Amino acid sequence: MSNNRQASANNHWMWKQVLDLDLDLSAVRAMVAVSDEGQFGLAAAVLGISQQAVSKRIAKLESQLNAQLFERRIGNVALTAHGTRFLPHARSILATADTAVAAVCDSQVLRVAVHGAQIADANLMRFYLEKHPYAEIELIMMGPATTSRDAVIDGRVDVAFARRHWHARPLPTHVSAIPAYLDALHLLVGKGHPLADRDRVDLEALAHLTAWVPGAGFDSEVGDFYGRLGDSCGITITTEQQKGGIGFANVVDRIAESTTLVTFGGEGTTTPWHPDIRRIPIVNPTPAYPMALLWREAINDHPQLNSLIDFVIASYNGNAVDSMWVPEPDRAFCTR
């Protein structure tokens, strides 16, 4: 069977299961949001509904599937084995549904993919929407396994904030890009870590440390970035999955308890506050994750696009690149 016919058969089977079970897409969307954010409250903020509504949708989905999807904990949640197996199918269900709706709607809404409610790209879009309250924008939250970059390349969204360069999957000619944001990375350590009392740390001093970055544990441009960072400064990047998941709350909890592990927090990223976490600037040079604004050339005439492009160009912090470490393939793009 050809790949296209196999994909069609898989989609037919998946949607038969959805219809047979009468799955509520809003409940599936709530499940994905809770998995991505690690907390019911954060998922509620992303979805624009109450935490109680999120809980009810998850309970309904678990009842329909006759399986517990999450382990409830104080402060966060974690996927069960059933939840872990269901998650990739849930993402496929939502992507297919969104694509189907977009195919039949002559909408003026610009669909913008970001990496999560706490990441720098979502914070940048939040600021844009505050300045442009009448903009017709729909934010699509992507997970680490299917990044914003992939979503715009594959045509599932119109626009994305993501790293432009990745040698394993170059941008196709139908996707345009401009520099958008240089997210300077800080070091996050627990209060018992030997570096906890430092007010700054040189990049070369990170050699021989071990950084836990579970979000980089996928075949993606994010994983490529941290691989290059590790090669450059000698830090070991570990991406193993823990029972609590890869949400920020779980990452911060683990780092706070460790005297050996460190992780990174972007300057433009909202890291959950923890009393035992210390945030230390990295200098000489400062590593930065280079975000670009990507869009499909098919939407060049979209009424919402030019305003967003103008905003990104005006706010881009390109002068900072001289004092920053970015992967070499990104440097020329970031300095223009």
β pairing state of 175-190 and 286-296? antiparallel
Task: Provide the residue type at 266 as one letter.
Answer: G
Q: Which of 261, 249, 250, 316 is nearest to 288 (CA)?
A: 316
Q: Tell me, what amino acid is at 19?
A: L
Same domain, 175 and 279: yes
Asked whether residue 138 falls in the same domain as residue 251, the answer is yes
Are residues 79 and 142 located together in one domain of the fold?
A: no
Full domain range(s) for residue 160: 109-335
Distance in angstroms (rounded) separating the CA atoms of residues 8 and 2? 10
pLDDT digits (tens, 9 = 90+) for 64-80: 888 999 998 777 789 99
Q: 49 with 187, same domain?
A: no
Last residue of a domain, one of 78, 103, 128: 103
pLDDT digits (tens, 9 = 90+) for 238-274: 998 777 666 777 889 999 999 999 999 999 888 888 9
Report the pLDDT averaged over residues 191-199. Answer: 96
Indicate whether 69 and 206 sit together in one domain. no
Q: Quickly tell me which residue has 């994305």 as its tokens.
A: 160
The CATH number assigned to the domain holding 11 equals: 1.10.10.10
What's the confidence (pLDDT) of residue 136?
Answer: 92
Q: Which of 82, 103, 124 is the last residue of a domain?
A: 103
Tell whether 172 and 94 lie within a shared domain.
no
Residues 159 and 230 in one domain: yes
pTM assigned to the model: 0.69
**What is the CATH classification number for the domain harbouring 222?**
3.40.190.290
Compute, in degrees rounded to 10, the torsion defined by CA atoms 66, 71, 75, 76.
-80
Same domain for 210 and 235 = yes
Q: Highest mean pLDDT: which of 48-62, 95-109, 313-327?
A: 313-327
Query: Based on the domain organization, do 290 and 163 belong to the same domain?
Result: yes
Domain total of the chain: 2
Same domain, yes or no: 69 and 141 = no
Residue 155 has pLDDT above 50, yes or no: yes
Which residue among 47, 75, 103 closes a domain? 103
- The whole-angstrom separation of Cα 315 and Cα 208 is 36
One domain, residues 76 and 130? no
